[in-house]
Amino acid sequence: MVGMGPRKPPSRRGSMADVPEDLKSQIKRLEELFTVPQEKLKEVTDHFISELAKGLSVDGGSIPMNATWCMNYPDGHETGTFIALDMGGTNLRVCEITLPEEKGEFDIIQSKYRMPEELKTGSAEELWEYIADCLQQFVEYHHEGEELDQLPLGFTFSYPATQEYIDHGVLQRWTKGFDIDGVEGKDVVPPFEAALKEKGVPIKLTALVNDTTGTLIASAYTDTMMKIGCIFGTGCNAAYMEHCGDIPKLAHLNLPKDALMAINCEWGAFDNEHKVLPRTQYDIVIDKESPRPGQQAFEKMIAGLYLGEIFRLVVLDLHKSNECSLFKDQDVSQLEKPYSLDAGFLAAIEEDPFENLSETHDMFKKKINIDATRPELELCRRLAELIGTRAARLSACGVAAIAKKKNLGECHVGADGSVFNKYPHFKARGAQALREILDWPEKTKRSEKDPIEILPAEDGSGVGAALIAALTMQRVQKGENWGIRDPKAILEAMKSAKK
């Protein structure tokens, strides 16, 4: 990269000067398609609020608003040793977490196992066996030769699940491109436990946890202002605490009205009926070609799994269009492959520090064998910005909706996930959108904080899952057995946790 120009922030406006008219007018069209103005953000947020309420009602709505049976914030004094398992999209992570006497502290050891791509569309037996294998390896490696009782496990299963109990969960549907037969509509815990038993792995599932609930609880462990947990990663979603008295669909259980219940919103399903979201023709294609058309309308516009694919569809469409010349006479066969570009590709375009977009040029050549001209790269850069900005702005609508519903004037939101952590400007764009939706006055000083801040979260699927297992045990100890299928087994596992 020596001699390619100084590393200074590019002045994007000037760089459009040499873009030919046909591409300029396409850029303008894309700007109109992908920009979500303040008024639209507010409209989306208002509809979001009513859909959150609908999800809690007896009749239900598109957003599942799943009761999780995580019924408390941690107070920082939770103790014990727990196993946490995170079945993410790319990796399977197993951790052992010790919560010591010291308030808000934790120790962690962890191992990562690659989640083979074939497993995502394979059979249920293969999935459970693979997971049990990883847990077995972990236990054998870290506890070689030890006599073990049942170690308590917090299992982060980040898919929509109906939980009648915390140690139970019926998968509503796969998301994020997973498509394993014979799991949807069934409780995932019995086959998981059967696979553990078969291999003799000494682990007792204590809590089945969503990554958002884990994020909320892990963040609240060290910051009492944390009121919402969000994931902006391969998928997207949020969790927050509701009062049981405000959950009409649980009224028949006669839970104490002022008791808390973490709600896993599953907001990826927001607007499945396409009432407010500004969908483009490209979003429609993404949905149609996905394993679950009609599902996860919101997620498909904002989550990491889809950002690169939206970009690919737009660029390919422009290449084929008669109205402009993009990648003319280039071999686009690589670009024709669905999901060949990921969010990291867009992030890299946005991060190219060079005025002449030379890094983007090289990446196009290397990854998709396209030798793009400077004006073509300018269009791609603008498109990446538009897609990334739309994602951040729409995400903010979900946060604003929960904040408004719960009257959270001031709070912290704990966020995790690859898009939140790695996508350039995602945080700043989201914060700007929140300001527009909630009409906060302009900041007078740079150091001033927004009333609601979205901050990087603690490790939800590790520490969060362990804390939820600990909180569940505490409830059993107090005899608060709501939503706990097997309190006796949990008390047993507690003995190992405290050893």
Q: Which residues are designated catalytic?
A: 158, 173, 211
Which tokens in the block code for residue 196? 């553990």
Q: Which of residues 234-253 bind ligand BGC (CB under 6 A)?
A: 235-237
Between 237 and 373, CB nearer to ligand BGC: 237
Considering only residues 32 to 61 of the shown chain, the ones binding ligand BGC according to CB under 6 A are none
CB nearer ligand BGC, residue 80 or residue 233:
233
Contact indicator for 378, 16 with CB cutoff of 8 Å: yes
Contact pick of 187, 266, 352, 378 for ligand BGC (by CB under 6 A): 266
Tell me the C-alpha distance between 361 and 49, whole Å: 43
Span 401-420, contacts to ligand BGC by CB under 6 A: none
* C-alpha to C-alpha distance for 19 and 12, rounded to whole angstroms: 12
Residue 108 has phi, psi (to 5 degrees) of -140, 135
Q: Is the CB of 268 or the CB of 414 nearer to ligand BGC? A: 268
* Minimum CB–partner distance for residue 296 and ligand BGC (Å): 6
Distance between alpha carbon 133 and the CA centroid of its chain, in Å?
26
* Between 72 and 295, CB nearer to ligand BGC: 295
Nearer to ligand BGC, 72 or 175 (CB): 175
CA angle 47, 50, 56 (to 5 degrees): 140
For residue 257, give the nearest of 267, 248, 268, 244 by alpha carbon. Answer: 244
Q: For residue 15, state whether it binds ligand BGC (rule: CB under 6 A).
A: no
Q: Which string of b and e fits 445-467 if b means at least 16 CB within 10 Å?
A: eeeeeeebebeebbbbbbbbbbb
Which of 74, 152, 154, 268 is close enough to bind ligand BGC by CB under 6 A?
268
Query: Per CB under 6 A, does 299 bind ligand BGC?
Result: yes
What H or E segment, with its residue span, contains residue 156?
A: strand 151-157
- x/- mask, ligand BGC, residues 105-144, rule CB under 6 A, reads ----------------------------------------
- Name which of 383, 294, 295, 299 is nearest 341 in CA terms: 383
Q: Are 56 and 65 in contact (CB under 8 A)?
A: yes
Question: Is 156 among the residues that bind ligand BGC (CB under 6 A)?
Answer: no
Contact characters 173-212, ligand BGC, x per CB under 6 A: --xx---------------------------------xxx
Contact status: 327 vs ligand BGC (CB under 6 A) = no
Report the residue number, 419 or 434, with the smaller CB distance to ligand BGC.
419
> Bridge-partner residues for 453, per DSSP?
412
Task: Tell me the helices (H) and strands (E) count for the chain, helix number first.
Answer: 16, 13
Interface ranges with ligand BGC (CB under 6 A) = 158-160, 175-176, 210-212, 231, 233, 235-237, 266, 268, 299
